[in-house]
Structure 1
Amino acid sequence: MPAPRLVPEPTHLQSLPGLFTFEMTTTLKVSPGAEPAARLLRTLLGPATGLPLPARPDGSVVLALDGALTGLGEEGYGLTIGTEGILLRAARPGGLLAGVQTLRQLLPVEALGGEPAPGVVWSVPCVQITDTPRFPWRGAMLDVARRFRPVSFLRRYVDLLALHKLNVLHLHLTDDQGWRMPVAVLPRLTEVGGVPHGGAYTRAELAGLVAYAAERGVTVVPEIEMPGHVRAALAAYPELGNHPGRTYDVWDRWGVCDTILGVHDEALDFCRTVLDEVMDVFPSSYVHIGGEECPTTEWHTSPDARRRAVAEGLAGPEALHGWFMERIGRHLLDAGRQPLSWTEDGTDLPPYFTVMPWRDSDHGRVAVRRGHRVVMAPHRTTYLDYPQSTSPAEPPGQAGEVVDLRTVHGNDPAPAEWSPEESARVLGSQVQLWTEYVPTAEHAEYLTFPRLCALAEVVWTGRHDWPGFQERLRHHRTRLDALGVPRRLSPTSVPV
């Protein structure tokens, strides 16, 4: 029997003879602290298999949380499958959740479906697996500001991330073209900014998403753009800008808008108020505050901004960007959170920020040498809005690059030539799906897969075995098929 073809590939896998078959009478033995993993296993397998999997003291499928286990870290696990039983062990709850996803992949692909699959024998191959991730940050950024997506889609996206052992959903909630985050004391943000391209979320919807994701080992990291990419906010509250008396529309074009926040106290207080609400909804230790693509033309022409630069002893209005980010970053630190931001070149933010270099991977090395912790997000290897190929059949996307499957698989967040000290400051990597040219949920999934599978391999396993990955992906495609992930787009799902 060939070795199981799993994505991402486990750190260590040994095939053993035989099969274990789940029956309607199969029971679980659940140790204290392992109940969330047991609930997830029932939730994921129930719709297709109908297996009740009740807990019994003598259950043949053992889920064991043992803090004394060494070498597995926060998300590692050990999985032993024999003909008479299964033992899934971890030192931390996150490891058990990861092991549940491996069990899910080991079952027949019909187990991934949402409808009953009568007649299928629910057997898994006997194996010995020890599995730990290379990086603690393994994520995907989804832009819901340009194109609103309902919470039902976000939950499905979380499920797809979790299947691949990705543990961060970075939600880009605000931009020039839309504001999706509700703020109770600033209702016009969603009343005005939530209108284009779909709508806005309620607080209850976002809190529910956070809980749903946590049950699957995924943290939702919110992003609120500032001081640029704020045209939707200024359409709601124009007094926050640099031109008193001017009114704005939510921007109806793509690209970089030169309308930015002012640097007066009211604008800073606005940001703090928004972030206080964000922190109340999202318990993530990281809060992303944008920071990229911020033209400073308005600050150069604003008397108030020029006066602020002089009063703060800055070299000029262009230095207000770092000043602004430092003020807001300190607010997050004071609240016990870690500020996270895009970085243009690795040198533009205080070292206590965790940064995402997006322009060039070399900027990541610049950033770690300055003392930053880094999540690598270089556009040439992680941007999924770029086309997957040069084929005429490939739908048009963001202009300028082609990011194919092998390119994503070749991404190395901490290259071998980096020193151990530099590599230690790399938290991981994530893919980005900006949605200017992604009008439908079907299109979003088409662009995400199978490239997300390659990213999962990079950040979990860390190996760059391209032939081996291709072989495993061929089988893994049948899992994606069972989940309804499209291999191609329907004629109605094209960019506009």
Structure 2
Amino acid sequence: MRTLRALRTPALVPEPTQLTALPGRFTFDETTTLRIAPGAHGAAELLRTLLGPATGLRLPERPDGPVVLAVDPALTGLGEEGYGLTVGERGVLLRAATPRGLLAGVQTLRQLLPVEALSEHPVAGVEWSVPCVQITDVPRFSWRGTMLDVSRTFRSVDFLRRYVDLLALHKLNVLHLHLTDDQGWRMPVAARPRLTEIGGHPHGGAYTRAELAALVRHAAERGITVVPEIEMPGHVRAALAAYPSLGNRPDRRLPVWDRWGVCDTVLGVHDEALDFCRDVLDEVMDVFPSPYVHIGGEECPTTEWHASPAARRRVADEGLDGPDALHGWFMERIGRHLLDAGRHPLGWTETGTDLPPYFTVMPWRDSAHGRTAARRGHEVVMAPHRSTYLDYPQSASPDEPPGQPGAVVDLRTVLRTDPAPAHWSPEESARVLGTQAQLWTEYVPTGAHAEYLAFPRLCALAETAWTGRRDWPGFQARLRHHRTRLDTLGVPRRLSPTSVQGEESS
């Protein structure tokens, strides 16, 4: 007779909050049906969509189905995204307080199945069984995300959909899309077609409104919010190449920037430039229902404002201390526009004190800036570059492909990141929404390269953001099996020369 002591604990990533292994297994087969309570149909459809290609299982709905999916608002202890999962030999019960919680539970059920269940093609000869378990799982943080830079290197919509699927498997719930920068403008704006005609030409192309709307729907079906970022008032060379009148020297004609780094051309602060930003953001809000809209704000040289008569007039008219104060003035004007539209303005903070107090901020230079921002009353999403920037190499090995110089961000570094460290006060920690990783793409020419850099480091980020445990030996042990899941999904362990040189377009 088996005992609980002899049972193997499933290797799940991220590790659930509470998990008890039980004797026995439940097997999905062609006779398995679903009992779907009100509010659970989205999770049921996701389960069918994810399991169908490999297993061929249809999982129809029946009132007496052994696999039960239920939304129960009375389960308040599970929060917005938590779930309870009980697997017995005769049935499965997945419950949550909200439909989003059920979506997270579906991903756990998917990981409990044999790794072949992740295949995109039919797999024969596999028993589709899961171990009996009792799981109660509630995330530590509400913001568990990754930023993907599609401005410097364009990624196809097919790649973005696949990337969303990979994030969802790990219960990451935010895809922050960096859509514009000096090197490219990827967001279509009907009233400003040259933004994508001129600004979208280098390094790939641009998306259509329909493509982005479909991506948002695809992500929402998996419990993921797509947060758009439109950079301003710096990192705008692509926009100025398309519309020179938005800049500080309207008579100057500039190409889209073909170098990396920080360009010193920035938006002007005249009314036309401000109206442009508001019009763009109105269209962005039409496409992206995210409560948060990111407007950049970082690395904005003020040299042009010092030299511009129009900018100096603005300083005088507004009673500002000097041209350097125009950055805060600009962010206040644009931030208020988002607030008036019912959205939360989001920006990169250089110091923790440089954005209006109602902004949600992403500290990227130093973790201490996050604490400074929290003390000011900001909501905070931690993004310190030395532990969350995935364009840094994963190791110091000479076999690593070229990456951002200056640091190594290895797997253990990501795992030990604590978005709200124990020495912070309860009030400071309460203002931390969560954390996210950043994948800037100056050194990432292909989709395969992007996936190689993202995984397994995003597995570590998911671990620390979901349960907050940083058990390195335990994580390594679970990751050994989880790596076979990534193999089945085609996530590369190594890069071919083609992937490094950029000969593929995805």
TM-score by length of 2: 0.98
SS in 2 for 1:42: helix
Question: Which residue matches 2:474?
Answer: 468
- The code of the aligned residue for 2:45 comes to R
- The whole-number CA distance in structure 2 between the counterparts of 1:373 and 1:84 is 45
Q: 2:211 aligns with which of 189, 192, 205?
A: 205
Question: Which residue matches 2:281?
Answer: 275
Following superposition, the deviation at residue 323 of structure 1 comes to 0.3
**Corresponding position: 1:78 with 2:81:** no
- The code of the aligned residue for 1:18 comes to G
Question: Which residue matches 1:456?
Answer: 462
- The whole-number CA distance in structure 1 between the counterparts of 2:46 and 2:341 is 32
- The code of the aligned residue for 1:465 comes to D
**Corresponding position: 1:370 with 2:376:** yes
Following superposition, the deviation at residue 307 of structure 1 comes to 1.1
- The whole-number CA distance in structure 2 between the counterparts of 1:467 and 1:199 is 43
- The code of the aligned residue for 1:393 comes to D
**Corresponding position: 1:259 with 2:265:** yes
- The whole-number CA distance in structure 2 between the counterparts of 1:16 and 1:423 is 36
Question: Which residue matches 1:111?
Answer: 117
SS in 1 for 2:162: helix
Q: 1:184 aligns with which of 187, 190, 195?
A: 190
Question: Which residue matches 2:418?
Answer: 412
Contact 1:210–1:220 (CA<8 Å) still a contact in 2?
yes
- The whole-number CA distance in structure 1 between the counterparts of 2:82 and 2:53 is 27
Following superposition, the deviation at residue 92 of structure 1 comes to 0.5
**Corresponding position: 1:17 with 2:23:** yes
User: 1:341-388 deviations in whole A, cap 9, x for unaligned?
Assistant: 000010001110000000000000000001100000000000000000
Following superposition, the deviation at residue 70 of structure 1 comes to 2.4
User: 1:107-158 deviations in whole A, cap 9, x for unaligned?
Assistant: 0000001000011000000000000000000000000000000100000000
Q: 1:56 aligns with which of 58, 62, 70?
A: 62
Following superposition, the deviation at residue 310 of structure 1 comes to 1.3
Identity %: 81
Contact 1:368–1:374 (CA<8 Å) still a contact in 2?
yes
For residues 194-343 of structure 1, what are the structure 2 equivalents within 5 Å?
194-343=200-349
SS in 2 for 1:193: coil
- The code of the aligned residue for 1:45 comes to L
Structure 2: gaps spanning 5 or more residues: 1-6
- The whole-number CA distance in structure 2 between the counterparts of 1:488 and 1:332 is 43
- The whole-number CA distance in structure 1 between the counterparts of 2:121 and 2:368 is 47
- The whole-number CA distance in structure 2 between the counterparts of 1:382 and 1:474 is 22
- The code of the aligned residue for 1:403 comes to V
Contact 1:30–1:38 (CA<8 Å) still a contact in 2?
yes
Contact 1:291–1:342 (CA<8 Å) still a contact in 2?
yes
Displaced runs of 4+ in structure 1, greater than 2 A? none
Question: Which residue matches 2:41?
Answer: 35
Following superposition, the deviation at residue 276 of structure 1 comes to 0.2
SS in 2 for 1:275: helix
**Corresponding position: 1:487 with 2:468:** no
Following superposition, the deviation at residue 492 of structure 1 comes to 1.2
**Corresponding position: 1:127 with 2:125:** no
SS in 2 for 1:29: strand
- The whole-number CA distance in structure 1 between the counterparts of 2:316 and 2:19 is 62
User: 1:310-344 deviations in whole A, cap 9, x for unaligned?
Assistant: 11111100000000000000000000000000000
- The code of the aligned residue for 1:359 comes to R
SS in 1 for 2:476: helix
- The whole-number CA distance in structure 2 between the counterparts of 1:330 and 1:226 is 14
- The code of the aligned residue for 2:242 comes to A
Following superposition, the deviation at residue 100 of structure 1 comes to 0.1
- The code of the aligned residue for 1:455 comes to L
SS in 1 for 2:94: strand
Following superposition, the deviation at residue 287 of structure 1 comes to 0.2
For these two proteins, the number of residue pairs brought into alignment is 496
- The whole-number CA distance in structure 2 between the counterparts of 1:90 and 1:301 is 58
Following superposition, the deviation at residue 183 of structure 1 comes to 0.2
Following superposition, the deviation at residue 244 of structure 1 comes to 2.5
Following superposition, the deviation at residue 466 of structure 1 comes to 0.6
Contact 1:140–1:431 (CA<8 Å) still a contact in 2?
yes
Following superposition, the deviation at residue 418 of structure 1 comes to 0.3
- The whole-number CA distance in structure 1 between the counterparts of 2:410 and 2:76 is 38
Contact 1:395–1:495 (CA<8 Å) still a contact in 2?
no
Question: Which residue matches 2:3?
Answer: none
- The whole-number CA distance in structure 2 between the counterparts of 1:352 and 1:233 is 27
- The whole-number CA distance in structure 2 between the counterparts of 1:162 and 1:302 is 47
SS in 2 for 1:197: coil
- The whole-number CA distance in structure 2 between the counterparts of 1:422 and 1:348 is 18
- The code of the aligned residue for 2:379 comes to R
- The whole-number CA distance in structure 1 between the counterparts of 2:98 and 2:282 is 30
- The whole-number CA distance in structure 1 between the counterparts of 2:195 and 2:467 is 42
- The whole-number CA distance in structure 1 between the counterparts of 2:391 and 2:49 is 32
Following superposition, the deviation at residue 2 of structure 1 comes to 1.2
Question: Which residue matches 1:96?
Answer: 102
For residues 351-390 of structure 1, what are the structure 2 equivalents within 5 Å?
351-390=357-396
User: 1:441-490 deviations in whole A, cap 9, x for unaligned?
Assistant: 00000000100000000000101111000000000000000000000000
Question: Which residue matches 1:2?
Answer: 8
Structure 1: gaps spanning 5 or more residues: none
Following superposition, the deviation at residue 69 of structure 1 comes to 1.1
- The whole-number CA distance in structure 1 between the counterparts of 2:250 and 2:213 is 36
